[in-house]
Amino acid sequence: MGSISHVITLHGLIPSTRCSYSHSNPRLQTLKFTRVANKDGIFAQLKSQNSTQKSQDIDFSDPDWKTIYKEDFESRFRLPHVTDIFPDAAPMHSTFGLKMRTPRTRGFPGNYPSCKEWHGYINDNDRVLLKTIFYSSPTSAGAECIDPSCIWVEQWVHRAGPREKIYFKPEEVKAAIVTCGGLCPGLNDVIRQIVITLEIYGVTNIVGIPFGYRGFSDKELTEVPLSRKVVQNIHLSGGSLLGVSRGGPGVNEIVDSLEERGVNMLFVLGGNGTHAGANAIHNECCKRRLKVSVIGVPKTIDNDILLMDKTFGFDTAVEEAQRAINSAYIEAHSAYHGIGIVKLMGRSSGFIAMHAALASGQIDICLIPEIPFNLHGPNGVLSHLKYLIETTGSAVVCVAEGAGQDLLQKTNATDASGNTILGDIGVYTQQETKKYFKEIGVHADVKYIDPTYMIRACRANASDGIFCTVLGQNAVHGAFAGFSGITVGTCNTHYAYFPIPEVISHPRLVDRNSRMWHRCLTSTGQPDFI
């Protein structure tokens, strides 16, 4: 296999390996669900297709379709566990218990501290409801219905948190943490809390892998020993203590490195591509019958991971985007016929641009990847800008980086992570705006702001700080509980575990029929630009 960055872009989505687990119910074979392997092909689908179901593949004439669907859903969302490979693996009582504060640094064998009276554990049968709204009609705003009649079907995911029984002895654990992709506010917060929680369990051998997956193969890069003393104050700064990079070695080389290092817990912080790599690592460990727990923590500033309320860094990004928007607003309103253009992050999903437009209340036009638009023509963006200049004297435009790519010349080039290198829609919009107003003989003072790297490098705000803290804790709880090939996130405000393949099949998108997008349109007052 090629580099780790190719596991999703070249070979499609990694199969959902459940170690030794397989479907036992033959009825489930009649119900199939489409997976999208190629990110670039996602826009050929309906933009609102963010849910896990693909209703066109369900035989609604079968009176048992609802039961079949629910059984298939439960099967797909079953969490891979070390007992799939090692059925005789014996659980032990957890060393995590907040009623008992015995130091965890001494030897454990045969004398594990006990906290059986503590009632802070999560039962393995606890679930979180994935959908909370009963839509009475498929035409309801934001409706995501399984069948044409919009019948309610319960969908549950596994609740995150500490379990009473664990499957790893703390003194035998070597845990590794790796941060991949680009920077994102909150990386240090997650690293810090993973280390602290591991130490509370009793783990003393914790290392960081420098500069993403690259650190597994580059002989010049050495492990970074981690402890509470090392990470105590890292959350006060942005960036990543361990460094980041895109791409890296192949899956086999990474798993070879894990074996050589003696790592049996791997915590991977990254986005869709990084999680595809984590899932491939999990599958290879299953294939080699290695007792290694691979746990993901979704890190994407774009907030484009399926099924989750949000990802860490998003709140901070929206908050920091306000500074750029406010600057553009002041520039525009201080100039004669001023126009401010702000480009924000969002390769495939426009969540940052949408939420920033709503939060600021200063945006007149919000352009996102999910909603096609024309710049030119009677119904285009430039025509509306002319109207705004004539009626209000100024305007502010917010555009996501992945918006309007059909208007730009494609290069077919990719970065080290396998992502298509996008054309610069911000600069293009700026140039076309200047050109348009010059051609029609109307003065326009156009200012352009791109705060991308300033936002990525900043420290997490209070909201993201709390979020990252709980994500880091739950990642460690999941590893000690014996799960692998999973990721942690929030679902309907509750923390939950998800099988990695179920959240990386394609980016989560803004639904043009969602209430949030309608709210954004109400705030900006913009028309359709088609």
Stated length of the chain: 530
Backbone angles phi and psi of 268, in degrees to 5: -115, 120
The CA distance from 165 to 168, in Å, is 10
443, containing H or E segment: none
Annotated active-site residue in 72, 84, 302, 315: 302
Residue 357 lies in a domain: yes
188 is in an annotated binding site: no
Active site residue 40: no
455 is in an annotated binding site: yes
The encoded tokens of residue 197 equal 């929680």
pLDDT computed for residue 148 by the predictor: 87
pLDDT computed for residue 19 by the predictor: 63
Same domain? 259 vs 139: yes
326 is in an annotated binding site: no
The CA distance from 483 to 486, in Å, is 7
Minimal CA–CA distance to 96: which of 186, 33, 173, 11? 173
16, containing H or E segment: none
The CA distance from 512 to 370, in Å, is 7
Same domain? 407 vs 467: no
Same domain? 338 vs 416: yes
The CA distance from 329 to 125, in Å, is 51
Same domain? 324 vs 262: no
Residue 55 lies in a domain: no
Residue with tokens 């019958």: 289
Residue 160 lies in a domain: yes
Domain that holds residue 218: 64-103+118-310+460-491
Residue 241 lies in a domain: yes
Residue 45 lies in a domain: no
pLDDT computed for residue 57 by the predictor: 74
The CA distance from 379 to 528, in Å, is 7
pLDDT computed for residue 247 by the predictor: 85
The CA distance from 166 to 370, in Å, is 43
271 is in an annotated binding site: yes
Same domain? 283 vs 157: yes
Residue with tokens 């980041």: 244
Q: What is the CATH number of the domain that holds 145?
A: 3.40.50.450
Q: What is the CATH number of the domain that holds 322?
A: 3.40.50.460
The CA distance from 498 to 486, in Å, is 5
Same domain? 297 vs 430: no
pLDDT computed for residue 15 by the predictor: 44
The CA distance from 450 to 447, in Å, is 10
474, containing H or E segment: helix 462-480
Same domain? 287 vs 340: no
pLDDT computed for residue 56 by the predictor: 52
The CA distance from 241 to 238, in Å, is 9
pLDDT computed for residue 430 by the predictor: 98
The encoded tokens of residue 464 equal 């993201």
252 is in an annotated binding site: no
Residue 88 lies in a domain: yes
The CA distance from 412 to 419, in Å, is 10
Same domain? 450 vs 481: no
Same domain? 296 vs 150: yes
247 is in an annotated binding site: yes
DSSP labels for 187-245?
A: HHHHHHHHHHHHHHHT--EEEEESSGGGGGT-TT---EE--HHHHTTGGGSSS-TT---
pLDDT computed for residue 28 by the predictor: 36
Same domain? 433 vs 450: yes
pLDDT computed for residue 119 by the predictor: 81
402 is in an annotated binding site: no
Contact 417, 386 (CB under 8 A): no
Count of domains forming the chain: 2
Using alpha carbons only, give the angle 406, 411, 415 rounded to the nearest 5 degrees: 110
The CA distance from 288 to 293, in Å, is 13
Predicted confidence pLDDT, tens digits, the chain (530 residues): 444 543 433 333 444 445 644 333 333 333 333 333 333 332 333 333 444 444 457 888 899 999 999 999 999 999 999 999 999 999 999 999 876 655 554 555 545 555 567 788 999 999 999 989 999 998 898 888 888 889 999 999 999 999 999 999 999 999 999 999 999 999 999 999 999 999 999 999 999 999 999 999 999 999 999 999 999 999 999 999 999 998 889 999 999 999 999 999 999 999 999 999 999 999 999 999 999 999 999 999 999 999 999 999 999 999 999 999 999 999 999 999 999 999 999 999 999 999 999 999 999 999 999 999 999 999 999 999 999 999 999 999 999 999 999 999 887 787 776 778 899 999 999 999 999 999 999 999 999 999 999 999 999 999 999 999 999 999 999 999 999 999 999 999 999 999 999 999 889 999 999 999 999 999 999 999 98
Instruction: Determine the 3-state secondary structure of 154 from DSSP.
Output: coil
The CA distance from 122 to 338, in Å, is 56
Amino acid at 150: C
Contact 423, 408 (CB under 8 A): yes
Residue 177 lies in a domain: yes
The CA distance from 470 to 112, in Å, is 25
Q: How far is CA 149 from CA 50, 134, 236, 360, 391, in A?
A: 19, 12, 51, 39, 46
The CA distance from 156 to 437, in Å, is 54
Residue 440 lies in a domain: yes
The CA distance from 397 to 234, in Å, is 36
The CA distance from 279 to 500, in Å, is 6
Q: Which residues contact 511 (CB under 8 A, 6 or more apart)?
A: 47, 48, 50, 142, 370, 517
pLDDT computed for residue 30 by the predictor: 35
Same domain? 93 vs 241: yes
Same domain? 72 vs 212: yes
The CA distance from 470 to 193, in Å, is 8
pLDDT computed for residue 409 by the predictor: 85
Instruction: Determine the 3-state secondary structure of 416 from DSSP.
Output: coil
